[in-house]
């Protein structure tokens, strides 16, 4: 299995791997060096490598009592390296020895604030086939606004019904704020609310050089909380799968919209523009993260592409650049083509744990 891991975390493993060649290093020195590694999983990996590389270290390693069952061997990758927990595994508790339990608040989708979000052509008259059209803020809209997103999840049920599966609750809220539109008293143009339930199942499948680590199924509601004629909402069930290969993480979803009665359907043609699934690819260099999200309805030819770049600024705070071109950038614009670019700050990216 390939590992996505920041370069700064590789040094304890490299040092441990060299311990067998360092003839002057004593067992106590090797054990002491590994004991100074801050991260628990990396500290354990350091001990494992030091023990396997140095007979002196192995001699002082704890041995099982006579008659006791020996401990399970550490999982290994190609080249004999111990398997550390990847960002995808930590994000969804895919490894049995690295679970955080239930009701712990976790990162879900990225949480960010972009004080500059530039729209090439703002949608001044949003409309749907069932609700007609409306003039938004008397058609007085600025091209530049602020955009922010808050997203979190928590595990509700671990080892669902005695299986390896987990049940999660996630919540995402995305807002578009006409912050600089003083003529209209800086109103919020759109806020979308997205609660969801998702069941995840850890797997270990290998195909074409990729490691498929997770399968899942979810139920998601999304709405903007507005009244007619600006109300937008839909409900979906989806299947998802996530895979890794070196610095790459890919997640794919397919969904089916849950039907509504004609009188209650704010946006009957939403699938024409939002399609029936999406694919997201994330590439991490250790300090920089690049992501691409794509949707396409082959029947209608409608879709969207979002490109993202995050980079370190200060500690966990990251700079963020986002570009969007297509339909569905927000619910109010689900059937309106948007082209926009923004810059800001992100608290966590897609590989946060």
Full pLDDT tens readout for the chain, 353 residues? 433 334 344 344 433 443 333 333 455 555 555 555 555 555 666 666 655 544 443 444 445 555 555 444 444 444 433 346 888 999 999 998 888 999 999 999 999 999 999 999 999 999 999 999 999 998 999 999 999 999 999 999 999 999 999 999 999 999 999 999 999 999 999 999 999 999 999 999 998 999 999 999 999 999 999 999 999 999 999 999 999 999 999 999 999 999 999 888 999 999 999 999 999 999 998 899 999 999 999 999 999 999 999 999 998 899 999 999 999 999 999 999 999 999 999 998 877 65
198/179 Cα distance (integer angstroms): 34
- Residues making up the chain, counted from first to last: 353
Q: Which residue range forms the structural domain that includes residue 146?
A: 97-348
Judgement on whether residues 75 and 112 belong to the same structural domain of the protein: no
Judgement on whether residues 34 and 105 belong to the same structural domain of the protein: no
> Is residue 309 in some structural domain?
yes
> Is residue 89 in some structural domain?
no
- Looking at 84, 107, 138, which one is the last position of a domain? 84
Query: How many other C-beta atoms can be found within 10 angstroms of the C-beta atom of residue 133?
Result: 12
176 CB contacts (<8 Å, ≥6 apart)? 117, 145, 146, 147, 188, 189, 190, 191, 330
Helices (H), ranges, the chain? 11-17, 27-35, 40-53, 55-60, 87-92, 270-274
Active site residue: 223, 261, 287, 300, which one? 223
Judgement on whether residues 139 and 241 belong to the same structural domain of the protein: yes
Judgement on whether residues 80 and 108 belong to the same structural domain of the protein: no
Phi, psi of 147 (to 5 degrees): -135, 135
Judgement on whether residues 78 and 29 belong to the same structural domain of the protein: yes
> Is residue 293 in some structural domain?
yes
Cα-Cα-Cα-Cα dihedral sign, residues 85, 89, 93, 96: negative
Judgement on whether residues 125 and 266 belong to the same structural domain of the protein: yes
| 108 noted as active-site residue | no
Active site residue: 2, 81, 221, 288, which one? 221
Residue 168 near residue 200 (C-beta atoms within 8 A)? yes
Judgement on whether residues 224 and 299 belong to the same structural domain of the protein: yes
98/93 Cα distance (integer angstroms): 6
> Is residue 158 in some structural domain?
yes
CATH number at residue 149: 2.40.230.10
> Is residue 1 in some structural domain?
no
Whole-model pTM: value is 0.76
268 CB contacts (<8 Å, ≥6 apart)? 128, 129, 130, 262
pLDDT at 55: 46
> Is residue 172 in some structural domain?
yes
pLDDT at 84: 63
Judgement on whether residues 266 and 119 belong to the same structural domain of the protein: yes
Residue owning tokens 């003839």? 23
Judgement on whether residues 63 and 103 belong to the same structural domain of the protein: no
End-to-end C-alpha distance for the chain, whole angstroms:
19
- Looking at 30, 52, 84, which one is the last position of a domain? 84
216/200 Cα distance (integer angstroms): 4
pLDDT at 348: 87
| 221 noted as active-site residue | yes
Query: How many other C-beta atoms can be found within 10 angstroms of the C-beta atom of residue 59?
Result: 10
pLDDT at 98: 85
Judgement on whether residues 184 and 318 belong to the same structural domain of the protein: yes
What is the number of domains present in the chain? 2
pLDDT at 25: 44
Judgement on whether residues 132 and 206 belong to the same structural domain of the protein: yes
């Amino acid at each position: 299995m390939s590992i996505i891991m920041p370069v700064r975390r590789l040094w304890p493993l490299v040092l441990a791997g060299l311990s067998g060649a360092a003839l002057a290093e004593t067992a106590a020195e090797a054990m002491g060096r590994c004991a100074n590694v801050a991260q628990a999983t990396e500290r354990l990996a350091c001990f494992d490598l030091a023990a396997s590389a140095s007979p002196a270290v192995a001699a002082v390693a704890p041995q099982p009592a006579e008659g006791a069952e020996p401990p399970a061997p550490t999982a290994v990758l190609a080249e004999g390296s111990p398997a550390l927990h990847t960002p995808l595994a930590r994000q969804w508790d895919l490894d049995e020895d690295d679970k955080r339990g239930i009701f712990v608040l976790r990162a879900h989708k990225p949480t960010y604030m972009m004080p500059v979000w530039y729209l090439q052509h703002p949608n001044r008259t949003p409309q749907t086939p069932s609700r007609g059209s409306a003039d938004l803020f008397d058609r007085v809209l600025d091209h530049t606004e602020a955009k922010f997103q808050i997203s979190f999840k928590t595990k509700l049920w671990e080892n669902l019904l005695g299986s390896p599966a987990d049940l999660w609750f996630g919540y995402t809220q995305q807002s578009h704020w006409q912050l600089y539109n003083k003529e209209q008293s800086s109103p919020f143009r759109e806020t979308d609310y997205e609660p969801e339930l998702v069941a995840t199942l850890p797997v270990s499948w290998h195909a074409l050089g990729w490691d498929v680590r997770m399968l899942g199924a979810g139920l998601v509601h999304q709405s903007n909380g507005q009244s007619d004629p600006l109300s937008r909402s839909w409900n979906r069930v989806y299947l998802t799968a996530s895979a890794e290969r070196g610095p790459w993480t890919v997640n794919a979803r397919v969904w089916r919209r849950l039907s509504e009665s004609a009188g209650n359907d704010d946006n009957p043609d939403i699938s024409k523009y939002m399609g029936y699934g999406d694919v997201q690819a994330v590439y991490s260099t250790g300090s920089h993260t690049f992501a691409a999200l794509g949707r396409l309805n082959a029947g209608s030819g409608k879709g969207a592409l979002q490109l993202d770049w995050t980079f370190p600024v200060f500690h966990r705070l990251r700079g963020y650049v986002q570009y969007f071109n297509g339909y569905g950038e927000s619910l109010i614009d689900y059937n309106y083509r948007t082209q926009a670019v923004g810059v800001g700050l992100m608290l966590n990216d897609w590989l946060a744990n």
